[in-house]
C-alpha cells in the first residue's frame, strides 16, 4: 500500500484544499459566485428537491426493514448525502443531529488515510459509533458508503439509527453506569464492515456475540445499508442525467447557498448583540450500586452560554465557565456539540431554503478544552451526553428566542427543549429469552411554551422534531412489562402566561419474568435542567423514581379492587402508596437497583417544558379547559395563576372572570409587598458568598468553574465584589 | 414580498390570531417589514410616548427617553440606562425553601434549595414578573441581553439612530 502515496493523498488533499479555499475566500470551497444557481435557478432548486426526496424516501424504506421499535415506531433514524469531502448536501427528516456528526466521521476517515488503507472502493460499507470520531453516543451507529461515478469518488451516502441495545455494562444504549469508555458497549471505530454492498459475516457475528438483543442492531445495519445503496443509485442516475461536471459544481453550490441563507436568515430574524443564559444539571450517585469510586459521586453542573450574533449574521456560542469532564457517562465530544447546534438550527432557522451543512458553517462553537463539552481525555464515557447536551441547547433556543422577540418574529420564539429521561432494561424477557432494550417513548416530552401559545403536550424532543411515543402494544411486545397507566402529569409544564407543554408518566406492571433490570438516565437530580422565558417558570424536571416491589396487585385485580394507574397529585403520598401494598421505593438520580420480578410496579416520568410570560396574564378560559382535561389542577389554577374556577351544572370548570380579576389584584399586591430591591438582596447574599456558605456540591461547582475559566472568575469576583479564587480555595 | 397588516401583527403579538392563520405565517416566507410594524403595535399598547427602539422582553422595552436610552417596563417604570442590567434595579422574590417552591410546584418533586433557588425579577412599580432565573445559590445574576443597538439600526435596518448627546 505504501507504494501508492499519490493515490492515498487524493481525497485528503482535496479536503485540505477545500478548507484552505474556505479560509481564503470565506465561502465554502471557494465558491464565491453561485454560477449554476444564477444560470438556472429553477433547475438548481429542482435538483436539491430531488436530492431531499431521495433522502426522505430512502429513510422511509429503511424504517420498514428495521426490526427495532425505536426506528419503526419512533423514527430514530436519519440519512443524508455528502460531497466527496464529507459535507452534507441534503438530508432526510428524523434525528438530524447526526447529519453533521456523520460529516465528521467521513472527514476523519479521509484525514486518516483510509483511501490508502483500508481503501475506499465502490461497494464498501464503513461504520462508526465512536463519539471522538463522529457521533454523540455509542448507540448512535452510522453507516456510510462511497458514491463512485465514472471511476471517481463523487460523494457519500450515510445513515444513522439509534440502536436500542449497545452491549454496555447496563442494558440499552444510554449506559448510565459507564464511567469510562470501556463500559459503554460495542465500539465500531470507523471500520470497514462490508464490501460489495454486503455486510461482512465476521462483523455480524461480532455484533451477535456482544449485544443483548442483536436483532435490533443487525437489522438496523441492513436497513441503513439498503438506504445508502438506494441513495447512491439515485445520485448516480441523476449524474447520468445532468453530467458529472455539473454535479460536482452544483453539490458545492448547494452548500454555499445554505451557508449564505443561514447568515441572511440570522440578519432577517434576529438582532445583533450578546445574549446570555444558563441552566444546571444534578447527578447524584452516592450509595448507588455499581459505581466505581473514581471521583466524587455527586455533581452539580452549571451550563452557562454566551451567544454573540455578529453584524454579518454569524452565531457564535461560547461555553466558557462550564464544568470539567468527569468519570460519568454525560461527557460530550465536539462532534456531539456540533450535532446539537445543527439540529437546533434546522428546526429554528432553516425552515425554508436549502437545509444542509452550509448552515453549520455560518456558526462557531467555542468549547473550552477540558470541559464536558470538549474533554481532553478520549477515554471518557459519552453514553448519556444528552443529559447535558439537551439542557445546553435548550438555553440556546431561549437565547435565539429572545432575539426573535426583539425583532418581532414572536411566532418563532420558543422556550425550548428539555431532557426526556430514558428508561432502559434487560434480563430475561417475557418469552424466557435474554433481552435488552431502550424504551423510546421518551421521544415525546412536553415542549417549552411559545411566545404566543402554550407548548406542545407530550409531543416534542429536541433531537428529533418528528416526535412520537410509539404504541403501547408495540412496546409491550418487546419487554416483560405491561402498561397499567400512561397519563398526562398535571402541572408538569412550566407555569406562565403560556405554559410549557405537559409531560406524561408511565406505570408498568412487571410481568412474566424473574429478572428484569431497569435503569434510567438523563434525569436531573435536585435541580431543574431547564428554564422559562420572559417571566415564565422552569418546568419541574427533578422527578424521583417510584417503584413497588412484591406488590399485591394480582390480589387486587382478582378482587376487582382499584389499581394505581399513576402517581397522583399528592407529593407527600403517591397513588402507589394509597392503592398498593408492598415495598415502596422512592429514589433520586439514575435508577440502578437489584432486578425486578413479576408483580413489581414501576413508574417513570418524562419532562414538561418551560413557561413563557407572567403567570398572572394567563387566559382564564383556556385554563378552565386545561383543568377539565387534566393539564392543570384547580388548585394550581387558583394558587399559581390567580384564576378562580366555578363549576357548571354538569360539574365542568368554568372561569369566574370577576373573581379572577379581584384575586389577581390581591396576588399582585402580595407579590409587590413580598419583593425586595435586588440591591438589598445582593448586599445580604454577598455575606453568604464571602463565607462560601454553600452545600459541598455547590462549592465544588464554583471551584471547578473558577479553575477552568478566567472569565467566570472575573465575572463572579466583579458581581459579588469578592476574590473568587480565595473564596473557594482555588490556587 | 410577504407583508401583513398592522392589525394582523397586533393579533399575532397578542396571541389572539386564529391558529390556522398563525400557522400560515409560521410556514410562509418572513415579512421583511415586520420590525417597524411590530414596534408600532407595541407603541400603541404602552401608555407613554417615549419611542420604543427595541423590545427586550414581553413587557420590557429599550426606548429613547429624552437624551437617554433606557430599559422601561410597560407601566412606564424606568430601569435606567439600557446598557446596564435592568435586573439590578428590579425587585426580587427568591424561592429558596420547600414552602416557597411548593407554591409554584404543587405536586412535583422539588429542587433541593441547597442546590437551586428560583429568582423572580419584578417591576417595583406595577408588579409584573419580567424574568425568572433558576440558579444555584450564589450564582451571579445574568445580564440576559446586550444588544448592538446602534449597529442593528445602522447596518441591518439601514436607519441609523440619532447620536446620543451624552454618554451613559
Please write the tens of the pLDDT for every residue from A187-212.
999 999 999 999 999 999 999 999 99
Cβ <8 Å between B109 and A540? yes
Question: CB-CB: which of A267, A311, A678 is closest to B148?
Answer: A311
Per the model's pLDDT, the better-predicted residue between A610 and B27 turns out to be A610
CA-to-CA distance for A52 and A55, rounded, in angstroms? 5
Interface test with chain B among A303, A540, A642, A711, by most B beta carbons within 10 Å: A540
Q: Which member of B22, B104, B136 has the closest CB to residue A701? A: B136
Q: What is the pLDDT of residues A83-139, one digit of tens each?
A: 999 999 999 988 888 889 999 999 999 999 999 999 999 999 999 999 999 999 999
Decide if pLDDT at A9 tops 80. Answer: no
Any idea where the domains of chain A sit in the sequence?
54-242, 417-613, 618-674, 678-727
Say if the Cβ atoms of A538 and B134 lie within 8 Å.
yes
Helix (H) or strand (E) holding A488: strand A481-488
Partner residue facing B92 (CB), from A451, A489, A676: A676
State yes or no: pLDDT of A547 exceeds 50. yes
Cβ separation of B111 and A534 shorter than 8 Å?
Answer: no
**Mean pLDDT to the nearest integer, A405-430:** 96
Q: Give B-chain residues touching A671 at CB under 8 angstroms.
A: 93, 122, 127, 129
Which B positions 38-77 lie with beta carbon below 8 A of chain A? 38-39, 54-59
**To the nearest whole angstrom, how far is the Cα of B165 from the nearest Cα of chain A?**
22
Nearest-CB residue to A694 (from B17, B102, B138)? B138
Report the pLDDT value the prediction gives residue A10, as an integer from 0 to 100.
85
How far is the C-alpha of A530 from the C-alpha of B133, rounded, in Å? Answer: 10
**Cβ neighbours, 10 Å, residue B46:** 17
Q: What is the ipTM of this complex?
A: 0.98
pLDDT for position A352: 67
**Chain B residues lying within 8 Å of A713, measured CB to CB:** none
Cell numbers representing residue B106 in the block: 404543587
Window 361-420 of A: residues touching B by CB (8 A cutoff) are 402, 405-412
Task: Evaluate the omega torsion of the peptide bond into residue A157 and state whether it is cis, within 30 degrees of 0.
Answer: no
Q: Is B92 on the interface with A (CB under 8 A)?
A: yes
| Dihedral sign of CA atoms A566, B108, A425, A162 in order | positive
Per-residue confidence at A1, pLDDT binned at 50, 70, 90? Answer: very low
Q: Give how far the C-alpha of residue A185 lies from the chain's centroid of Cα atoms, to the nearest Å.
A: 20
Out of A275, A540, A672, the one facing B108 most closely (by C-beta) is A540
Residue A224 confidence (pLDDT) above 50: yes
Q: Note whether A540 contacts B59, CB cutoff 8 Å.
A: no
Query: A410 contacts in B (CB within 8 Å)?
Result: 12-13, 38
- The reply to whether B135 touches chain A by the CB within 8 Å rule is yes
- Which chain A residue lies closest to B106 (C-alpha atoms)? A636
Q: Distance between CA A665 and CA A618 in Å, rounded?
A: 14
Q: Hey, which residues 436-455 in chain A have their CB within 8 Å of chain B?
A: 451-453
CA distance A427 to A483: 19
Rg (CA), chain B: 19
Determine the pLDDT at residue A3.
37
Q: Which of A271, A537, A677 sits opposite B91 (nearest CB)?
A: A677
Give the pLDDT confidence score for residue A8 in this predicted structure.
41
Answer yes or no: do B116 and A280 touch at CB < 8 A.
Answer: yes
pLDDT for position A353: 65
CA distance B111 to chain A (A): 4
Residue A702's pLDDT band (boundaries 50, 70, 90)? very high
pLDDT of residue A357: 85
Residue of A nearest to B28 (CA): A352
* pLDDT tens, residue by residue, A313-330: 999 999 999 999 999 999
Task: Report the chain A residue with the minimal C-alpha distance to residue B116.
Answer: A527
Neighboring chain A residues of B137 at a CB cutoff of 8 Å: 688, 694-695, 698
Res A140 pLDDT > 50: yes
A405 to chain B, closest Cα gap in Å: 7
Closest approach of chain A CAs to the CA of B67, in angstroms? 22
The answer to whether residue A266 scores a pLDDT higher than 70 is yes
What DSSP line would sit under A231-278, residue for residue? HHHHHHHHHHHH-HHHHHHHHHHHHHHHHHHHHHHHHHH---EEEEEE
Rounded CA separation A289/A634 (Å): 41
The yes-or-no verdict on residue A564 having pLDDT over 90 is yes
Say how many C-beta atoms besides its own lie within 10 A of residue A3's C-beta. Answer: 6
Contact: A695, B108; criterion CB under 8 Å? no
Measured between CA atoms, the residue of chain B closest to residue A568 is B107
Cβ-Cβ pairs closer than 8 A, A with B, add up to: 245
Confidence at B166, pLDDT banded by 50, 70, 90: low
Tens of pLDDT, residues A334-364: 999 998 998 888 888 877 667 788 888 999 9
- Disruptive mutation site among A452, A490, A619 for chain B (greatest number of B CBs within 10 Å): A452
Q: Measure the CA–CA gap between A460 and A445, rounded to whole angstroms.
A: 5
The answer on pLDDT for B35 being more than 70 is yes
Per-residue model confidence (pLDDT) at position B138: 98
**DSSP assignment letter at A119:** I
A46 contact partners, CB below 8 Å, separation of at least 6: none
Give percent of chain A with pLDDT exceeding 90. 91
User: Long-range contacts for A469-472 (Cβ within 8 Å, ≥24 apart)?
Assistant: A469/A74, A469/A441, A469/A443, A469/A444, A469/A504, A470/A69, A470/A73, A470/A74, A470/A440, A470/A441, A470/A443, A471/A73
Q: Band of the pLDDT at A7, cuts 50, 70, 90?
A: very low
Contacts of residue A716 in chain B, CB cutoff 8 Å?
Answer: 140
Q: Within its chain, how far is the Cα of A91 from the centroid?
A: 18
- Residue B151 burial (10 A CB sphere; 0-12, 13-18, 19+): middle
Amino acid at each position: 500500500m505504501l507504494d501508492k502515496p499519490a493515490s492515498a493523498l487524493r481525497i485528503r488533499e482535496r479536503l485540505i484544499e477545500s478548507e484552505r479555499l474556505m479560509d481564503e475566500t470565506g465561502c465554502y470551497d471557494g465558491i464565491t459566485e453561485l454560477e449554476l444557481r444564477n444560470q438556472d435557478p429553477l433547475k438548481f432548486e429542482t435538483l436539491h428537491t430531488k436530492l431531499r426526496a431521495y433522502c426522505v424516501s430512502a429513510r422511509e424504506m429503511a424504517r420498514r426493514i428495521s426490526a427495532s421499535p425505536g426506528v419503526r415506531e419512533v423514527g430514530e433514524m436519519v440519512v443524508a448525502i455528502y460531497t466527496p469531502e464529507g459535507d452534507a448536501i441534503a438530508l432526510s427528516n428524523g434525528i438530524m443531529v447526526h447529519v453533521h456528526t456523520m460529516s465528521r466521521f467521513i472527514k476523519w476517515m479521509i484525514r486518516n488515510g483510509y483511501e490508502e488503507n483500508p481503501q475506499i472502493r465502490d461497494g464498501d460499507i464503513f461504520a462508526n459509533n465512536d463519539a471522538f470520531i463522529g457521533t454523540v453516543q455509542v448507540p448512535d451507529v452510522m453507516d456510510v458508503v462511497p458514491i463512485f461515478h465514472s471511476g471517481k469518488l463523487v460523494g457519500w451516502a450515510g445513515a444513522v439509527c439509534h440502536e436500542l441495545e449497545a452491549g454496555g455494562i447496563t442494558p440499552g444504549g444510554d449506559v448510565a453506569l459507564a464511567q469510562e469508555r470501556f463500559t459503554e458497549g460495542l465500539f465500531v471505530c470507523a471500520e470497514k464492515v462490508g464490501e460489495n454492498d454486503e455486510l461482512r459475516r465476521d462483523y455480524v457475528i461480532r455484533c451477535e456475540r456482544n449485544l443483548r438483543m442483536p436483532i435490533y442492531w443487525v437489522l438496523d445495519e441492513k436497513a441503513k445499508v439498503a438506504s445508502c445503496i438506494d441513495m447512491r443509485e439515485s445520485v448516480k442516475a441523476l449524474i447520468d442525467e445532468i453530467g458529472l461536471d455539473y454535479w460536482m459544481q452544483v453539490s458545492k453550490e448547494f452548500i454555499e447557498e445554505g451557508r449564505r441563507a443561514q447568515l441572511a436568515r440570522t440578519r432577517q430574524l434576529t438582532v445583533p448583540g450578546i445574549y446570555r443564559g444558563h441552566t444546571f444539571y444534578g447527578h447524584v450517585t452516592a450509595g448507588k450500586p455499581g459505581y466505581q469510586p473514581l471521583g466524587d459521586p455527586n455533581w452539580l453542573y452549571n451550563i452557562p452560554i454566551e451567544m454573540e450574533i455578529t453584524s454579518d449574521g454569524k452565531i457564535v456560542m461560547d461555553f466558557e465557565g462550564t464544568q470539567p469532564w468527569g468519570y460519568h457517562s454525560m461527557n460530550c465530544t465536539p462532534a456531539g456539540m456540533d450535532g446539537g447546534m445543527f439540529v437546533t438550527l434546522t428546526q429554528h432557522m432553516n425552515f425554508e431554503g436549502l437545509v444542509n451543512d452550509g448552515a453549520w458553517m455560518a456558526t462557531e462553537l467555542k468549547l473550552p478544552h477540558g470541559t464536558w463539552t470538549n474533554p481532553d481525555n478520549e477515554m471518557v464515557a459519552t453514553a448519556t451526553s444528552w443529559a447535558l447536551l439537551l439542557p445546553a441547547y435548550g438555553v440556546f433556543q431561549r437565547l435565539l428566542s429572545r432575539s426573535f422577540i426583539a425583532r418581532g418574529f414572536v411566532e418563532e420564539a420558543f422556550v425550548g427543549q428539555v431532557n426526556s429521561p430514558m428508561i432502559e432494561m434487560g434480563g430475561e424477557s417475557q418469552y424466557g429469552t435474554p433481552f435488552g432494550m431502550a424504551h423510546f417513548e421518551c421521544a415525546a416530552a412536553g415542549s417549552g411554551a411559545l411566545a404566543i401559545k402554550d407548548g406542545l403536550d407530550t409531543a416534542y424532543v429536541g433531537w428529533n422534531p418528528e416526535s412520537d411515543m410509539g404504541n403501547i402494544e408495540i412496546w409491550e411486545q418487546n419487554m416483560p412489562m405491561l402498561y397499567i397507566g400512561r397519563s398526562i402529569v398535571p402541572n408538569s409544564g412550566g407555569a406562565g402566561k403560556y405554559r410549557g407543554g405537559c409531560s406524561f408518566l408511565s406505570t408498568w406492571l412487571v410481568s412474566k419474568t424473574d429478572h428484569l433490570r431497569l435503569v434510567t438516565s438523563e434525569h436531573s437530580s435536585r435541580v431543574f435542567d431547564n428554564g422559562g422565558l420572559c417571566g415564565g417558570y422552569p418546568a419541574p424536571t427533578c422527578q424521583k423514581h417510584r417503584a413497588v416491589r412484591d406488590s399485591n396487585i394480582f390480589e387486587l385485580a382478582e378482587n376487582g379492587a382499584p389499581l394505581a394507574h399513576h402517581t397522583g397529585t399528592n407529593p407527600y403520598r403517591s397513588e402507589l402508596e394509597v392503592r398498593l401494598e408492598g415495598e415502596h421505593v422512592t429514589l433520586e438520580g439514575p435508577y440502578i437497583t437489584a432486578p425486578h420480578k413479576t408483580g413489581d410496579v414501576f413508574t417513570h416520568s418524562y419532562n414538561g417544558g418551560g413557561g413563557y410570560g407572567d403567570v398572572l396574564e394567563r387566559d382564564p378560559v383556556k385554563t378552565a379547559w386545561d383543568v377539565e382535561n387534566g393539564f392543570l389542577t384547580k388548585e394550581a389554577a387558583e394558587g399559581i395563576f390567580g384564576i378562580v374556577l366555578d363549576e357548571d351544572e354538569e360539574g365542568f370548570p368554568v372561569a369566574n372572570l370577576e373573581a379572577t380579576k379581584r384575586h389577581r389584584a390581591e396576588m399582585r399586591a402580595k407579590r409587590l409587598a413580598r419583593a425586595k430591591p435586588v440591591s438589598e438582596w445582593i448586599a445580604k447574599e454577598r455575606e453568604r458568598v464571602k463565607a462560601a456558605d454553600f452545600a459541598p456540591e455547590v462549592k465544588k461547582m464554583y471551584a471547578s468553574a473558577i479553575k477552568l475559566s478566567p472569565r467566570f472568575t472575573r465575572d463572579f469576583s466583579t458581581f459579588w465584589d469578592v476574590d473568587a479564587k480565595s473564596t473557594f480555595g482555588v490556587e | 414580498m410577504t407583508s401583513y397588516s398592522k392589525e394582523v401583527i397586533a393579533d399575532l403579538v397578542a396571541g389572539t390570531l386564529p391558529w390556522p392563520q398563525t400557522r400560515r405565517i409560521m410556514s410562509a416566507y418572513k415579512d421583511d417589514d415586520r420590525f417597524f410594524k411590530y414596534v408600532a403595535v407595541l407603541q400603541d399598547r404602552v401608555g407613554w410616548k417615549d419611542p420604543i427602539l427595541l423590545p427586550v422582553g414581553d413587557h420590557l422595552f429599550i426606548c429613547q427617553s429624552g437624551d437617554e436610552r433606557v430599559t422601561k417596563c410597560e407601566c412606564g417604570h424606568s430601569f435606567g440606562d439600557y446598557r446596564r442590567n435592568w435586573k439590578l434595579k428590579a425587585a426580587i422574590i427568591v424561592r429558596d425553601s420547600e414552602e416557597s417552591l411548593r407554591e409554584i410546584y404543587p405536586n412535583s418533586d422539588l429542587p433541593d434549595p441547597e442546590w437551586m433557588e428560583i429568582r423572580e425579577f419584578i417591576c417595583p412599580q406595577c408588579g409584573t414578573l419580567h424574568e425568572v432565573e433558576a440558579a444555584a445559590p450564589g450564582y451571579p445574576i445574568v445580564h440576559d441581553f446586550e444588544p448592538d443597538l446602534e449597529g442593528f439600526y445602522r447596518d441591518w435596518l439601514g436607519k441609523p439612530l440619532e447620536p446620543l448627546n451624552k454618554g451613559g
